[in-house]
Structure 1
Amino acid sequence: MEYTTERNLGPQPIAALMGRHGLRPHDIVAASSEQITHKMVSRACKGRKLTRNVQFKILRAFNTATQQEYALKDLFTY
């Protein structure tokens, strides 16, 4: 039996929320006080599996950019 981890989980809610707020990956990176990259944000939107640490970095940056309080479950389905 071969064990494989699914890494591509399909479009995530963060992509729709970014569209609703008119945000692009650069806006999230610019709002972050932590070190995140455009590639991390793009992967988050596409559904590429991210580490929990990166998910929280993106969550904090997203909350700063939107000036609202979202939870991790609002941005990611995994």
Structure 2
Amino acid sequence: MAVRTFMDNPSDTRAETERNFGPQPLDALMLQLGLDNHALVAASQEPLTHKAVQRARKGRRLTPRMRQRIADALHRAATLKDARPERPWYPRELFNY
């Protein structure tokens, strides 16, 4: 009996590729502002986990609602750090998918 692996089916690799988009603009912006994952979690007024922020930075696909939560938390965290942005960031500016 042959054991099937993930790589046996090429269509599975396409599905995996569509979920991973690589480092996002969010990651570069957070580094520029000197913010870590905890800063966003602490600043968020809605439920947000460290795992969700890490997934966002690495480019794993998130729901539109979660992308908005992260954008809101980033704006609030930057404001609390006295790096007040001119305007709130939109999810389309923070994510390239």
Using structure 2 for the length normalisation, give the TM-score: 0.74
Residue 30 of structure 2 is aligned to residue 18 of structure 1: yes
Aligned residue in 1 for 2:82: none
Q: Percent identity?
A: 45
Structure ID, larger Rg: 2
Structure 1 Cα separation of the partners of residues 69 and 89 of structure 2: 13
Structure 2 Cα separation of the partners of residues 72 and 35 of structure 1: 17
Q: Relative contact order (alpha carbons < 8 A, sep ≥ 6): 1 or 2 greater?
A: 1
Aligned-residue Cα RMSD (Å) equals 1.3
Contact 2:68 2:90 in 1 (8 A): no
Aligned residue in 2 for 1:70: 89
Name structure 1 gaps, 5 residues minimum.
Answer: none
Equivalent of 2:57 in 45, 50, 62: 45
Partner AA of 2:33 in structure 1: H
Using structure 1 for the length normalisation, give the TM-score: 0.91
